[in-house]
Amino acid sequence: MFETLPSPQMDGIIALMQAFAADPRAGKIDLGVGVYRDAQGRTPVMRAVKAAEARILEQQDSKGYLSLAGDATFLSAMETLLLGGAVPGTRVAAVGTPGGTSAVRQICDLIAKVRPGATVWVSAQTWPNHEPLIDAAGLKARPYRYLDRDAGALDRGGMFADLAHAQAGEVVLLHGCCHNPTGVDMSPQDWAEVAALLQRTGATPFVDMAYQGFGEGLDADAGGLRHLAARLPEVLIAASCSKNFGLYRDRVGIAMAVVPQAQRDAMAATLAGLNRQSFAFPPDHGGRVVSTILGDPLLRVQWVEELEEMRNRVQTNRRALANALRAATGSDRMGSVAAQQGMFSILPLTQAQVMRLRDDHAIYVLWDGRVNMAGLDPSRAGDVARAVAQVMRG
């Protein structure tokens, strides 16, 4: 039956993880996959997570099935974290999902239910898995300009000119904060203009929120999403707890739709039905850790402090790399990495230069020059910058 099955092309991020793991060179540097690393190079279990897990272990008396939507306490805690009361709960439908990736997929399947083959506008560039997920649901990805590569900033003119062509029945995918891969975020004014544009065109926003808390703070990072939710009839949301709770392998995500109140029940039932069709019940453990932390004032304070530590460290890494790049290249061409947000920035490297970084210097970055700032050891910033300068000189 499977004699003719072709080997699929492997996801570039996963392929890079494997290549790094297989590289025997001492001192190799992994700036590929988007995971946080501390000063010891570890991706630690957060202290608030450990405490919540201890409490769950002690108190949990059943692992029987819950509803298809998952644990109601988790859903409502996440609704508050994301939307901060911007819309009444009677307009919100949500389901737990195995990670943010499945949340994106469930939302794509939801769109396909009412608009098969619909266009989803995606920033050029975007998270490498967005397009495969959109394709898998039978939708069509269409790019809008986003990054001004020379300035390392938002191509505002290009973005608004392209999105002016989005229409009712089409979807505009936006990164809630900490844009992956560029690190370039929209300002509150840009979000207000996006909201006005969507009101004019009738296109539906779909906000992917994978890094809340890694940009400017939990509330500031959700400001754009909340602005849209308060002004538009429909907003689709996929959110992940992988990074801000460090729950990567526990797979904790949520798919959410803000709709007019009259459609809320049908939406909730549809999302639950989509869960049933792909994995039935979402995993419970990680979501319960999240709701335990968000529901306990002391654990919440501890988590916010730890998240701030991570955010500050990433910003320190950004400054360290920007300074080292300035020193190594004698130019401020890559100075914008200091001002960008979240885990990622794009360095202006060709694919050949990316390969030379890997082959000659054992430094792993994504094929498009994406660098994971959260994976950098600041004491190696000089090594990275000198290698980058060397491959750029040719």
Residues that bind ligand LMR (CB under 6 A): 13, 33-34, 127, 129, 180
Q: Catalytic: 121?
A: no
Peptide bond into 340 cis (omega under 30): no
For residue 62, the minimal CB distance to ligand LMR (Å) is 31
Closest residue to ligand LMR in the complex (CB): 34
Q: Catalytic: 303?
A: no
127, 195, 250, 387: the catalytic one is 127
Nearer to ligand LMR among residue 127 and residue 144 (C-beta): 127
Q: What is the DSSP string of 212-272?
A: TTSSS-HHHHTHHHHHHHHH-S-EEEEEE-TTTS--GGG--EEEEEE--GGGHHHHHHHHH
For residue 53, the minimal CB distance to ligand LMR (Å) is 23
Nearer to ligand LMR among residue 11 and residue 308 (C-beta): 11
For residue 180, the minimal CB distance to ligand LMR (Å) is 5
Backbone angles phi, psi at 95, to 5 degrees: -135, 150
Q: Catalytic: 191?
A: no
3-class secondary structure per residue, 28-94: CEECCCCCCCCCCCCCCCCHHHHHHHHHHHHHCCCCCCCCCCCCHHHHHHHHHHHHCCCCCHHHEEE
Nearer to ligand LMR among residue 20 and residue 198 (C-beta): 20
Nearer to ligand LMR among residue 206 and residue 234 (C-beta): 206
For residue 129, the minimal CB distance to ligand LMR (Å) is 6
243, 284, 322, 374: the catalytic one is 243
Q: Which residues contact 129 (CB under 8 A, 6 or more apart)?
A: 11, 13, 101, 104
Q: How far apart are CA 27 and CA 195, in angstroms?
A: 47
What dihedral angle (degrees, nearest 10) is formed by the CA atoms of 99, 39, 180, 365?
-110
Nearer to ligand LMR among residue 141 and residue 230 (C-beta): 141
For residue 253, the minimal CB distance to ligand LMR (Å) is 11
3-state secondary structure of 149: coil
Q: Catalytic: 338?
A: no
Q: Considering only CA atoms, which of 387, 226, 211, 220 is closest in space to residue 307? A: 211
For residue 248, the minimal CB distance to ligand LMR (Å) is 8
**Six token digits for residue 126:** 């975007």
210, 374, 381, 387: the catalytic one is 210
Backbone angles phi, psi at 283, to 5 degrees: -60, 145
3-state secondary structure of 153: strand
Nearer to ligand LMR among residue 232 and residue 346 (C-beta): 346
Any idea what the Cα angle at residue 207 is, between residues 202 and 211, rounded to 5°?
A: 165
- What amino acid positions are annotated as catalytic residues? 127, 208, 210, 243
